[in-house]
Chain A
Amino acid sequence: MSDTLITVIAIALAAVLMFVFPLMTISDRNDDVAQLTVETATTEFVDKIRSTGKITKGNYDKFVETISSTGNTYNVEMQVDVKDTNLGKKVSQAANDKIGENVSYSIYTSQIEEALESGTGTYYCKEGDIVSASVKNTNQTISQQLKNFFYSVTGNDSYTIAAQHAGVVTANGK
């Protein structure tokens, strides 16, 4: 009886050590690689917008393609804080081109995507606008599934791969 119990425990431990642990480690490393890829792609995408002053359909599609190549699905959110040309406050020397002085209004993902789908397929920014993009995974990665199975610490809606980058646009797109 005692021998049988020990054999069963040994088999269970062997299964955990030989299959579950390597799988968890590899899926964790896979998530790390995906995280790095997404971070790099997001930074490149935002920096390109900042230096050229425009969001083109080609760039956006390339960005989505790059992050999708990690094998996960993502929710991409973009925001452009457009510098309003109306002065934010009354000043003696009126100038509407100062960066950091004017009020701004925001343009969000759906509006940008609408601009990309119509006309020239380009959304133009101007000097002083602030562009930001954030990416979060929407599917559950293998690592998340295993963690949920063993520890149940992460909820179904939580994400493990996320990247965010923002910055001031330094060129006029038009």
Chain B
Amino acid sequence: MKIQGLAIIAIIIILPMSIILNAYSQNQIKTLELQTQYDSKLNNATYDAIKAFQLNMSNSSTSDLTNSKMRDLNASVNTFYNSLSNHFNMYGYRKRCYKKLCTCSSLYFI
């Protein structure tokens, strides 16, 4: 067999392997990218919640009272879900949908 023929056979063997390995590594990259995106969205939502709590505390003259603290905490939790919905482009959904989303994302990380 000529060297030309051998070269074609070699390429026919190597090319699919190379394509499959490339697709596999691209999938790994995409997975890592998605994980980073989820991390970043959850981090941002948490930051927003803490910032809201901080602002609510500093703006309130009754922030030392227990029921006022509870109210600030609830408002902070609401801010967390609102911010999360904005990050995931899920405007107008009910809070239980966001809770489900959080459960799903925490399961995703386990």
Contacts and interface: CB of A to CB of B under 8 A. Distances in A.
A130 B82 contact: yes
Interface residues of A, number: 30
A170 interface: yes
Given A7-B4, A95-B60, A99-B55, A130 B83 contact: yes
Nearest to A164: B89
Contact of A100 (B47, B52, B60): B52
B86 A132 contact: yes
A147 interface: no
B17 to A, nearest CB: 14
A128 B55 contact: yes
Given A81-B86, A166-B86, A93 B68 contact: yes
Given A99-B55, A100-B76, A93 B5 contact: no
A153 B77 CA distance: 41
A48 interface: no
Contacts, number: 81
A15 interface: no
Interface string A11-26: 0010001000000000
A168 B8 contact: no
B93 interface: no
A46 to B, nearest CB: 10
Determine the interface band of chain B, counting residues with CB < 8 A from chain A. 20 to 34
Contacts of B77: 100
Given A9-B8, A99-B55, A167 B75 contact: no
Of A91, A93, A99, most buried by chain B (CB within 10 Å of CB) is: A99
Interface string A163-174: 011111010000
B68 A97 contact: no
B51 interface: yes
A14 to B, nearest CB: 9
Contact of A98 (B4, B75, B91): B75
A130 B86 contact: yes
A130 B45 CA distance: 11
Interface of A: 3, 6-7, 9-10, 13, 17, 79, 81, 91, 93, 95, 97-101, 104, 106, 127-128, 130, 132, 134, 164-168, 170
